[in-house]
């Protein structure tokens, strides 16, 4: 069913719009140009609304309407459609439109690269950025989108050094980094343990009040935690809390995770309890971190208390990650019977990684019987994974002759 514009359907107007973009067509009248611009404005608003709502079915309907009237030939509109599909997660459709454009401007490249980076296609973003350079297209000094996208792509792929080099290149070319630039660069620091570079970025953020944000603060905590600077993580956490960068549940979880990662169980528990005192609802991620802290510290009773509180007090159903932390703890404590009972009572089937964890616990406790069973199941689930064979060999080697 065709959408109506006055007395005429869009199908009847199609030749009219097509002529506007034909090199051999006669010059359009003022009325035709005005009508084209009016329709373009209407669809621009619709495209932006759809981009914000991220409704893929609506995106496809809009694309069909725009194509039927020839409006997709307009560079500005085509760029908006690429951006819309990227935000809706349909990266294939975004690329199809990009490839079909007879001429692309800098924004076309930037939007497509950004769509790849935002949907986790870092390698595709890098390849397109390199192709952009080969075709002689350079990001504008005002176009921070492409820079951010390619820094993010490098960080996602674990290329932290390259991400930091790009941030430096932005500075040299007079492109002013924004919050997104620094968040991606800090992710790059975290991936390679570049503490000095992370501190330098932190100093730049401190120097500019306009850069303060909850997301940037959380990323700083994460970076310091991954780089082993618990003092830095705590400072970044305490600097948050104002109107510009209020702490959220992610902030608390990031600090708990930093302490848990480095075996600081008591400090992790103190932060977790303070979070409750301040009325912040812990997330499932926060519970993974506190259970991991309990596991590293061999804290059975606190672990049990947190595990039961998840569903009982906070309505969070334990995931495999939560069970994995408890399995690790029971194995560390040599409570093999309780560990096997927990495995049997879980509401879902454990995978290969869980059985390898059980096998690791059996090896630590020299439990050959349960270890043999765990190894057999792990090999059935992941026959190509050699770790189970190696761990089983190590288990047998612990037996007395």
Concatenate the DSSP letters of all residues of 158-194 into one string: T-HHHHHHHHHHHHHTT----HHHHHHHHHHHHHHT-
In the structure, what pLDDT confidence band is assigned to residue 288 with cuts at 50, 70 and 90?
very high
Residue 188 confidence (pLDDT): 95
**Alpha-carbon gap, residue 177 to 150, rounded angstroms:** 13
**Alpha-carbon gap, residue 148 to 119, rounded angstroms:** 14
- Say if residue 20's pLDDT is above 50: no
Q: Is residue 51 part of a domain?
A: yes
H/E element holding 261?
helix 249-261
- Say if residue 349's pLDDT is above 50: yes
- Say if residue 91's pLDDT is above 90: yes
**Alpha-carbon gap, residue 211 to 179, rounded angstroms:** 6
DSSP 3-state assignment of 4? Answer: strand
Which of 36-50, 219-233, 307-321 is modeled with the greatest confidence? 219-233
Q: Is residue 70 part of a domain?
A: yes
DSSP 3-state assignment of 46? Answer: helix
Residue 112 near residue 94 (C-beta atoms within 8 A)? yes
pLDDT in tens, 103-145: 898 889 989 998 998 888 888 888 898 898 888 887 766 678 8
CA torsion angle 55 83 216 318 (round to 10): 30
Structure-token match 């991991």, residue found: 292
How far is CA 299 from each of CA 210, 289, 335, 342, rounded to the nearest angstrom?
43, 13, 13, 17
**Alpha-carbon gap, residue 143 to 35, rounded angstroms:** 31
How far is CA 310 from each of CA 256, 258, 277, 316, 320, rounded to the nearest angstrom?
16, 21, 16, 5, 13
278 C-beta neighbours (distance < 10 Å), count: 9
pLDDT in tens, 253-268: 999 999 999 999 999 9
**Alpha-carbon gap, residue 323 to 354, rounded angstroms:** 9
DSSP at 345: H
- Say if residue 279's pLDDT is above 60: yes
- Say if residue 353's pLDDT is above 60: yes
Q: Nearest CA to 307 among 335, 297, 294?
A: 294
Radius of gyration (C-alpha) of the chain in whole angstroms: 28
The reply to whether the predicted model has a pTM over 0.75 is: no
Residue 379 confidence (pLDDT): 73
Give me the mean pLDDT over the 210-219 stretch: 92
CB burial string 332-344: b at 16+ within 10 A, e below:
bbebbebbbebbe
Q: In percent, how much of the chain has pLDDT > 70?
A: 86
Residue 21 confidence (pLDDT): 40
In the structure, what pLDDT confidence band is assigned to residue 31 with cuts at 50, 70 and 90?
low
Q: Is residue 357 part of a domain?
A: no
Q: In percent, how much of the chain has pLDDT > 90?
A: 53
In the structure, what pLDDT confidence band is assigned to residue 225 with cuts at 50, 70 and 90?
very high
- Say if residue 383's pLDDT is above 80: no
Question: Of residues 271 and 343, which shows the higher confidence score?
Answer: 271
Residue 198 confidence (pLDDT): 97
Residue 396 confidence (pLDDT): 55
In the structure, what pLDDT confidence band is assigned to residue 397 with cuts at 50, 70 and 90?
low
- Percent helix, strand and coil across the chain, each to the nearest 5: 75, 0, 25
> In whole angstroms, what separates CA 65 from the centre of its chain?
32
Residue 33 confidence (pLDDT): 72
Backbone angles phi, psi at 80, to 5 degrees: -65, -40
Question: Is residue 243 classed exposed, middle or buried when 0-12, 13-18 and 19+ CB atoms within 10 A define those classes?
Answer: exposed
Q: Is residue 61 part of a domain?
A: yes
Residue 10 confidence (pLDDT): 34
H/E element holding 318?
none
DSSP 3-state assignment of 229? Answer: coil
Give me the mean pLDDT over the 64-70 stretch: 93
Task: Please count the structural domains in the chain.
Answer: 1
Residue 150 confidence (pLDDT): 86
Q: Which of 31-40, 276-285, 301-310 has the lowest mean pLDDT?
A: 31-40
Residue 339 confidence (pLDDT): 87
Mean pLDDT computed over every residue of the chain: 84
Question: Is residue 81 classed exposed, middle or buried when 0-12, 13-18 and 19+ CB atoms within 10 A define those classes?
Answer: buried
> What is the domain range of residue 78?
1-14+41-95+108-118+151-160
Q: Is residue 348 part of a domain?
A: no
pLDDT in tens, 291-339: 999 999 999 999 999 999 999 999 999 999 999 999 889 988 989 889 8
- Say if residue 400's pLDDT is above 90: no
**Alpha-carbon gap, residue 189 to 229, rounded angstroms:** 12
Residue 116 near residue 149 (C-beta atoms within 8 A)? yes
Residue 370 confidence (pLDDT): 74
Q: Nearest CA to 165 among 147, 183, 145, 139?
A: 147
Residue 390 confidence (pLDDT): 55
Give me the mean pLDDT over the 86-97 stretch: 94
Q: Which of 83-87, 240-244, 379-383, 390-394 has the lowest mean pLDDT?
A: 390-394
In the structure, what pLDDT confidence band is assigned to residue 387 with cuts at 50, 70 and 90?
low
């Amino acid at each position: 069913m065709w959408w109506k514009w006055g007395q005429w359907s869009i199908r009847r107007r199609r030749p009219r719009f097509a002529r506007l973009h034909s090199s051999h067509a006669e010059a359009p009248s003022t009325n035709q140009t005005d009508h084209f611009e009016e329709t373009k404005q209407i669809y621009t608003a619709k495209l932006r609304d759809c981009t914000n709502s991220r409704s893929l079915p609506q995106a496809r309907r809009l694309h069909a309407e725009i194509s039927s009237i020839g409006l997709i030939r307009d560079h500005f509109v085509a760029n908006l459609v690429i951006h819309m599909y990227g935000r809706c997660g349909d990266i294939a459709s975004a690329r199809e439109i990009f490839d079909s454009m007879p001429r692309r401007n800098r924004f076309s490249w930037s939007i497509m690269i950004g769509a790849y980076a935002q949907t986790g296609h870092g390698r595709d973003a890098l390849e397109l950025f390199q192709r952009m350079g080969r075709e002689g297209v350079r990001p504008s000094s005002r176009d921070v989108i492409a820079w951010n996208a390619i820094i993010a792509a490098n960080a996602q792929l674990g290329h932290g050094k390259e991400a930091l080099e790009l941030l430096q290149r932005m500075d040299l070319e007079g492109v002013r980094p924004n919050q997104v630039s620094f968040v991606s660069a800090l992710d790059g620091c975290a991936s390679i343990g570049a503490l000095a570079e992370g501190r330098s970025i932190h100093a730049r953020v401190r120097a500019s009040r306009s850069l303060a944000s909850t997301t940037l603060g959380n990323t700083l905590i994460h970076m310091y935690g991954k780089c082993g600077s618990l003092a830095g993580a705590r400072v970044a956490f305490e600097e948050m809390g104002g109107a510009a960068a209020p702490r959220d549940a992610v902030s608390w979880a990031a600090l708990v995770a930093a302490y848990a990662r480095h075996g600081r169980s008591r400090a992790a528990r103190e932060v977790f309890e303070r979070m409750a005192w301040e009325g912040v609802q812990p997330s499932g991620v926060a519970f993974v971190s506190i259970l991991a802290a309990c596991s590293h510290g061999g804290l059975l009773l606190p672990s049990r208390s947190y595990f039961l509180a998840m569903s009982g007090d906070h309505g969070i159903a334990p995931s495999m990650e939560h069970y994995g932390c408890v399995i690790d703890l029971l194995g560390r404590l040599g409570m093999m019977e309780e560990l096997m009972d927990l495995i049997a009572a879980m509401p879902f089937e454990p995978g290969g990684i869980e059985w390898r964890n059980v096998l690791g616990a059996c090896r630590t406790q020299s439990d050959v019987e349960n270890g043999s069973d765990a190894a057999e199941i792990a090999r059935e689930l992941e026959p190509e994974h050699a770790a189970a064979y190696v761990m089983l060999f190590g288990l047998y080697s612990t037996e007395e002759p």
